[in-house]
Chains A and B, each alone.
Chain A
Amino acid sequence: MYAYRTGIIIAATLVAGCTAKVENHDNGDTGSGSGAAPASGGSGGSSGSTGGSVNTGGSVSTGGSLNTGGSLNTGGSSGSTGGSLNTGGTGAVPNVDCTQMVKPTSQIPRLTNTQYDRVIRDLLGLTALSTGSVPSNLLATDQAGGLTELGWSAYNSVGEQIAAQVIADPTLKANFLKCTPVAGDATCLHNTVIEFGRRAFRRPLTTEEIARFDAVIAAGATITETGTPDEIAETLLYMFLVSPSFLQRSEIAGVADGAGNFTLTPHETASRLSFMMWGSAPDALLNQAADAGQLATPEQVLAQAQRMLQDPKARDMVNSFHQYYLLMGAGSRWNTAKKDPTIFPTFNTALVSEMTEETLRFFDKITFSGGTFRDFILSPIAFVTSATAPFYGLNPASFSTTLTETNLDATRPGFLTRLGFLNNFSNYSRTSPIFRGAFITKQILGIHIDAPPPGAEQTMLPTGPELDTVRKQVDAMTMGADCSGCHQGYINPPGFVMEAFNSIGVWQTVEASTNAPIDTTADVIIDNDLPVHITTPAELMAQIAQSPGAMRQYAAKWVGFAYERESDPMDACTADLLAAKMTNTGYTVMSLIADLTQSQSFRVRAVEGLQ
């Protein structure tokens, strides 16, 4: 861990090249590289896509940064052909052709362990094994390589346990069997093969597949202990749960679309929809739509996406996304705040997770009440308890032990002025303008900052009578030639503006240890390497809220998360389109999520190198 000298990041400029490209391929300032899988269950944590250049006639030229110098009104109409986002929003949509920008994907990704648990829950109603753990507790750790013997053994063992539990429990049993099997008559089990198989494989079974399972039923007496209908049913269920077509999210339709890619069947589209929105298998309505061929047009897909966003399962997904966007999770800075009790006697470590939870509730509230990206940065909403109220300057008596929604005053717009961010991106005994500034610069504005050179962490924080605020100390420390390029121009300024809040998130106007006045003015680079003069946090938030770079960063993060892959230049096209739509006021977050289903990357698939 190259780390920080008591919270001060030492960045270098010469070796690293500190530029303000809105490239969004940032690696996280603490080197979290957490590999935490997005809820839709894909690869390790990915960042936004790199800035590919998509330059079509007369429309948005993106290059490395989103160039808003010109108008977004394009020559093309908004009724463009497949490949461009064409839904909702007001104002013009750039006519960008993303047809060729479909990243090749595996046709047979295995369910992740989290997806496995959800699918079992949704198909069968089973949420825990009889030992008390979730089913995936006994599976091999997620890995994207070939199935191992340990992994295969685990699928078999867990499949057996689930099957036994389901048959033994009448409620669960009814989720598997929609009829009562009778000895000597295969009808019910045959129908179960068709009905449950449809749900388990996320598509209708072929006649050959049905015949294979029928053969299992016919052999029931020899492959079960005593050959009872229940025993045969249990064996049938177990066999479904170890079938490759259950364990893999297959995309195997081989029909070319004429543009070098392959179409998806309606069932494959339904599967993509449900795993994106819920991290699980389709529900009955989605299955019906797929069976009836009603997922053929982008509009039909959009309608389903919008419906699915209303389901509670989508809230979990959105929550997981925002944890990913904010770099929460194992190895992150969130939930770890510790404060010096002599300096901050009112601080209590037990509050830390509550403060982080407030931030997640904030994002959930904004998203599902029709909010926009701007609202994340500007909304006065907070979720307060009687314990956290004093930090906000509120009366504890007005609150309870549970997080309660309220509005804060105009000094606290958006999540960056909430206790979660302020506390966790601070130090034990004082603030850290560098933690806060680096997070804002990299994670929110999407400005790429390279890692510091070796030895940078040995730089001492200077002290002295004239360095009577943390700001002045940090400023002096990062003046050197190796530091100033990244720190003076990019990292420090937003952090200095946030000095209005002390280490525990309380509003401050003087430095507690010296009584020197807090100076929150700074020239902050928001977009395009252009500094903007800021005097208060509220002004900073106003700038961030309308920053094309910040919007693109948010959009790009969604693309990586939703498509379950590391940032890829080919996804830049989709991110650019979504980012452009975000510049229209009134384009809600939910619209953005739904529009993720409208891209070419979602509607077709591309194949990795063949033999």
Chain B
Amino acid sequence: MIPMNRRTFLKGVGGACVAAPFLGSVHEQWAKAAGVPAAAPKRLVIFFTHNGCLTNRWFPTKTSGTLAAADLTGSYLNVLGPLANKLLIPRGFRSLNGYGQGQTIDPHDQAMGSKLTCAQISSASNRYATAESLDHTIAKQINPNGGAPLVLGVGAASTSIKEVLSFSGPTTAFPANTNPQTVYTQLTGVLGTGGGGDPVTEADWRVARGQSVIDLVRADLTDYQRLNMSTADQGRIQNWLDLLRDTEVGVNNPTMAAACTTGAAEMYGATAAAVTAASPTGKITDGNVLGPRGTAESDANLATSFTLGTDMMQNLMALNMICDQNRMLMLVFPGYITFNWDGINHTHEHHGLSHRTGDFTVGGACGVDGVLDMIAQIDTWYTGKYARLVNLFNSIGEGDGTLLDNTATMWLPELSDGGAHNLNNLPIVIAGSAGGYLKQGEIVNVDSGTPQAGNSEGSCQNGGNIGNTGSSGGNLPINKLYVTLMNAVGCTENGMPGGPKVTKFGVFDGMSSATAGISNPGEVASLVAAPT
């Protein structure tokens, strides 16, 4: 009897997937038409941070051209030096719907809601985005079974617009999952034993029970399906039925199944004990725009979540990709957090520091001694975590290269400078070429002229006035970056395999969110590698 994954109840001999009778998603149709998917799917990974950074320390001095390790010295990105040949720094993108550019609800809410949707936010009190976000658009096209993106975070779970980046539909938030235990548990149903451990055979009672559960739940759902409910409700039932079918059919990419083992999980740090250690069971101090307010225990849990938890989430993202469970992944950090770990001992939370005032006030005198150094500490910490993620992916072999090569792993910020709240010339870096699509080892100015690195440190030394910490230039709408990335991971304009390239994403791309329409379609050719 061939050893099986616990949840592959109907896996055929030799590993071929049982043909699924109901192919609901675009990707399904593609898979059916194309046969077994390629061994190395392409993925988009987004690493998201709040409150901007000291942009003049982030950007390398070099503004365009080939990127070598030496070009990164002096900037935060120095730590990525060894991987310079796999980096792409697109200078000059602007994200949309800044405060006063069509809406005057709140700068941070608008920045979050519009970031991956390029749409306005709702005027209802939850202020959620009014359109689906990029990660869901991409996931529907490229994910196995068109499943939802994997949106992870650390800290306390939050459904606030201030922390939500992903929207599965208009005004429907898709908040991050912040418990590594939950993510790991899902994987343990998928990881094969790779020849070691305790094989589960078809005759195992667990397999029989699993099938029994599916049958029972499916029968319940089929009863619901017969009711004359709204389109939305019918969609929810069908969605659940699809999940059951996916559980039955099992591993979607048999070619990759060989790498998806408990051994791999251990190798990349995801043991049961390590996951438990990274997953606090008690309350975690939640983010607060007006300062910290946790107990000693909840603060300790926050530190665990940020330190062990970030690393474990990264490990689990790698494993999800190795097991081809998800090709659209995000790691979204919260924004209103007081850093007290890894050698950082702050008494003000990040957002307040980013304003230089130490709280939510804007402008005037710098309110905290050494505030720029504090911001730099946080910036450096995040750069280190991004570097860890990129290096982790690069350490995993895949095909002729590494996992990193088959991803575009992007660090996307909420803002450029947190004091100026500016959205132009966002500090963005992408690692990996998504299977050769994107240029590597280059800095590219995507907008005309040379967008400025910015004035984050212009003044504000020990009580001085904050002044203008923004930058000028760099206003190419970020929609075009998203279009480029969609093409990089294999999306098409009509969602059909072999279809035309994507040219448009989002509801608007102009300076005002009030004017709908894409005035500047198309990907950014200067970011795309020459065909070989």
Q: Are the CB atoms of B208 and A222 closer together than 8 Å?
A: yes
Q: Are the CB atoms of A331 and B160 closer together than 8 Å?
A: yes
Q: Are the CB atoms of B282 and A133 closer together than 8 Å?
A: yes
Closest Cβ of chain B to A610, distance in Å, is 6
Q: Which of B166-206 contact A (CB under 8 A)?
A: 168-169, 172-179, 181-183, 185-186, 189, 205
* A226 nearest CB neighbor, chain B only: B205
- Per-position contact with B for A107-149: 1 when CB-CB < 8 Å, else 0? 1100000000000000000000101110001111111111111
Q: How far is the CA of A396 from the CA of B147 in the complex (A)?
A: 61
A597 CB-CB contact with B under 8 Å: no
Residues from chain B with Cβ under 8 Å of A152 in the complex: 240, 243, 247
- Per-position contact with B for A314-356: 1 when CB-CB < 8 Å, else 0? 0000000000000000111101101000000000000011000
Q: Which of A7-43 contact B (CB under 8 A)?
A: 7, 15-16, 25-28, 30-37, 43
Q: Are the CB atoms of B243 and A1 closer together than 8 Å?
A: no
A69 CB-CB contact with B under 8 Å: no
Residues from chain A with Cβ under 8 Å of B282 in the complex: 132-133
Q: Are the CB atoms of B288 and A330 closer together than 8 Å?
A: yes
How many residues in B have their beta carbons less than 8 Å from beta carbons of A? 88
Closest Cβ of chain B to A92, distance in Å, is 33
Q: How far is the CA of A239 from the CA of B212 in the complex (A)?
A: 9
Q: How far is the CA of A149 from the CA of B213 in the complex (A)?
A: 15
Closest Cβ of chain B to A77, distance in Å, is 37
Residues from chain A with Cβ under 8 Å of B351 in the complex: 1
Q: Are the CB atoms of B360 and A27 closer together than 8 Å?
A: no
B104 CB-CB contact with A under 8 Å: yes
Q: How far is the CA of A335 from the CA of B294 in the complex (A)?
A: 10
Which of A46, A108, A607 interacts with B237 by CB under 8 Å?
Answer: A108
* A144 nearest CB neighbor, chain B only: B172
Known: A35-B161, A138-B182, A454-B104. A336 touches B290 (CB 8 A): yes
Q: Which of B276-308 contact A (CB under 8 A)?
A: 276, 281-282, 286-291, 293
Q: Are the CB atoms of B212 and A146 closer together than 8 Å?
A: no
Q: How far is the CA of A219 from the CA of B228 in the complex (A)?
A: 33
Q: Are the CB atoms of A35 and B108 closer together than 8 Å?
A: no
Closest Cβ of chain B to A120, distance in Å, is 16
Q: Are the CB atoms of B288 and A5 closer together than 8 Å?
A: no
Q: Are the CB atoms of B160 and A330 closer together than 8 Å?
A: yes
B229 CB-CB contact with A under 8 Å: yes
A192 CB-CB contact with B under 8 Å: no
Q: Tell me how many residue pairs across A and B have CB atoms closer than 8 Å.
A: 270
Residues from chain B with Cβ under 8 Å of A245 in the complex: 220
Q: How far is the CA of A27 from the CA of B127 in the complex (A)?
A: 9
Which of B181, B205, B224 interacts with A244 by CB under 8 Å?
Answer: B224
Interface hit among A302-310, A445-453, A476-484, A499-507 = A445-453
* A238 nearest CB neighbor, chain B only: B213
Residues from chain B with Cβ under 8 Å of A100 in the complex: none
Residues from chain A with Cβ under 8 Å of B216 in the complex: 212-213, 216, 239, 243
Q: Are the CB atoms of B99 and A107 closer together than 8 Å?
A: no
Residues from chain A with Cβ under 8 Å of B395 in the complex: none
Q: How far is the CA of A608 from the CA of B231 in the complex (A)?
A: 8
Which of A44, A108, A149, A238 interacts with B246 by CB under 8 Å?
Answer: A149
Closest Cβ of chain B to A404, distance in Å, is 24
Q: How far is the CA of A104 from the CA of B266 in the complex (A)?
A: 49
Q: Are the CB atoms of A140 and B182 closer together than 8 Å?
A: yes
Q: How far is the CA of A132 from the CA of B231 in the complex (A)?
A: 40
Which of A1, A30, A33, A142 interacts with B161 by CB under 8 Å?
Answer: A33
A409 CB-CB contact with B under 8 Å: no
Q: Are the CB atoms of B291 and A146 closer together than 8 Å?
A: no
Known: A1-B107, A143-B173. A567 touches B159 (CB 8 A): no
Residues from chain A with Cβ under 8 Å of B217 in the complex: 242-244
Q: How far is the CA of A324 from the CA of B176 in the complex (A)?
A: 23
- Per-position contact with A for B229-266: 1 when CB-CB < 8 Å, else 0? 11111111101100100110000000000000000000
Closest Cβ of chain A to B100, distance in Å, is 3
Q: How far is the CA of A331 from the CA of B164 in the complex (A)?
A: 14
Residues from chain B with Cβ under 8 Å of A5 in the complex: 361-364
Residues from chain A with Cβ under 8 Å of B179 in the complex: 137-138
Q: Are the CB atoms of A33 and B361 closer together than 8 Å?
A: no
Residues from chain A with Cβ under 8 Å of B224 in the complex: 108, 244, 250, 252
B84 CB-CB contact with A under 8 Å: no
Residues from chain A with Cβ under 8 Å of B229 in the complex: 107-108, 252, 607, 610
B148 CB-CB contact with A under 8 Å: yes
Q: How far is the CA of A26 from the CA of B158 in the complex (A)?
A: 22
Closest Cβ of chain B to A458, distance in Å, is 5
Interface hit among A153-161, A180-188, A490-498 = A153-161
Q: Are the CB atoms of A330 and B286 closer together than 8 Å?
A: yes
Q: Are the CB atoms of A225 and B205 closer together than 8 Å?
A: yes
Q: How far is the CA of A546 from the CA of B171 in the complex (A)?
A: 36
Known: A33-B125, A141-B157. 16 other contacts (CB 8 A): A2-B106, A2-B362, A4-B360, A26-B125, A142-B175, A144-B173, A145-B148, A223-B208, A243-B216, A254-B227, A330-B287, A332-B290, A335-B293, A352-B293, A567-B124, A609-B230
Sorted from nearest, which 8 A-B pairs have the closest CB atoms?
Answer: A454-B100, A133-B281, A146-B239, A31-B106, A44-B126, A336-B290, A608-B230, A145-B168
A/B interface sample: 6 pairs, CB < 8 A: A15-B104, A26-B125, A35-B126, A45-B126, A216-B212, A610-B231
